[in-house]
Amino acid sequence: MLDKQLFSSEMLHYEVTNILRRGRRQGSLDETAANLAFQDLRDMAIHLEPFSVVATRIWELRESVTAYDASYVAVAEWRRAPLLTADRRLTRSNGPKCEFITPPMT
């Protein structure tokens, strides 16, 4: 088995927690599913890159993507790794230099 590492922006936990919160409020996630997903999030072995490491690149991307999106792009570029995203608009942006991996359209 290949040993894979996950890297992300420090924004990850905040954004996923907010998505789970929204799912609960909208009724698309029941309490059990939301709690299990939140626990999985907390238990995932993800290396979080500090803002200081990617701050300059985030600022350089300010004309093409949001600072939130730029934080993930900057980590992918810094790590020379592909960025997994469902945000197809981000993949069409002109500033990022990383490879994108997107899930198949359903």
Domain of residue 67, residue span: 6-101
3: amino acid identity, one letter: D
CATH number for the domain harbouring residue 12? 3.40.50.1010
Q: What is the pLDDT of residues 54-71, one digit of tens each?
A: 999 999 999 999 999 999
Residue by residue, DSSP assigns 47-103 as: EEEPHHHHHHHHHHTTTTS-HHHHHHHHHHHHHT--EE-S-HHHHT-SS--S-EE-P
Which of the four pLDDT bands, split at 50, 70 and 90, describes residue 105? confident
Q: 10-22: per-residue pLDDT in tens?
A: 999 999 999 999 9
Looking at residue 2, what is its pLDDT? 56
Average pLDDT, whole number, for the chain? 95
The helix (run of H) or strand (run of E) holding residue 14 is: helix 12-26
The total domain count for the chain is: 1
pLDDT at 4: 83
77 within domain boundaries:
yes
Q: Is residue 44 part of a domain?
A: yes
How far is it, in rounded angstroms, from Cα 95 to Cα 97? 7
Whether residue 40 is contained in a domain is answered as yes
**Which pTM does this prediction carry?**
0.88
Residues sharing a CB contact under 8 Å with residue 47, sequence separation 6 or more, in sequence order: 5, 6, 7, 8
When pLDDT is cut at 50, 70 and 90, the band that residue 1 belongs to is: very low
